[in-house]
Amino acid sequence: MAKRTQGSSFALREMMDKVRHSSEGVQKNLTGTIKDVKTAALRGLLQGVVIVRRDMDESQPFIPVRNNNMRSGFFVVTYLGEIREGSEPTFNNLAKDAGKLLQSQIQSLAFAVGKAKEMSEDGKKVVVIIGFGAYYASIVHEMIAGPGSAWPTTIQWTRPGSGPKFLQAAMRKNDAKVKAVVAASIKAALK
């Protein structure tokens, strides 16, 4: 009886070793697949950024432009802490506030990098943050005129067709397209 138990114990240990080895292989494959999916999701999101950015220049409301400094301060930051666009804006050097614009861009990028890392929960989630680094970008984005508004009843935008909510409108208009691009990118990675 003792030999039988010993043999059973040996067989059980051997089976447990095989299960452990097999589960380690599954874990390794799963880790690789997750990494591939995250890479594909990031690639898709960055393609989505191109769609949104293009829309702000091609359909109303356009990005308001006085001297092109706000457009030049557009930035893209990933959850990996990468600054994909906006690290070298070409601000109009003739602008009396060029130094202030550059400082604002640096601060906006630093904030966005920190926020992207925080939102990703240490890389568990794929995050991309886009925005404009000009110190006045959020004010211009929210300049809705009319009764009860802080702005005059009419705003003379220097670029025809431009106006408030240009980023928000582009994101809303292209939401389905961006989701489709991200989904296609992930699907391709899983094949």
pLDDT at position 174: 97
**Ranges of each domain in the chain:** 14-189
Which of 173, 132, 160, 155 lies closest to 62 in space, CA to CA? 160
Burial class (CB in 10 A: 0-12, 13-18, 19+), 2: exposed
128-132 and 83-85 as β-strands: parallel, antiparallel, unpaired? Answer: unpaired
pLDDT reported for residue 131: 96
Per-residue model confidence (pLDDT) at position 103: 93
pLDDT tens for the chain, 191 residues long, are 445 555 567 777 777 776 666 666 656 666 667 888 999 999 999 999 999 999 999 999 989 888 888 899 999 999 988 999 999 888 876 667 888 999 999 999 999 999 999 999 988 899 999 999 999 999 889 887 766 666 666 777 788 888 889 999 999 999 999 999 999 999 999 88
> What pTM did the predictor assign?
0.79
Burial code (b: 16+ CB inside 10 Å, e: under 16) for 110-138 equals eebbeebbeebeeeeebbbbbbbbbbbbe
Could you give the C-alpha distances from 141 to 11, 122, 136, 157, in angstroms and in order?
70, 31, 9, 12
Enumerate residues 6+ apart whose C-beta is below 8 A from 111: none
What tokens were used for 161? 């067709």
Distance (Å, whole) CA 130 – CA 109: 10
The CA distance from 144 to 138, in Å, is 12
Are the C-beta atoms of residues 113 and 91 closer than 8 Å to each other?
Answer: no
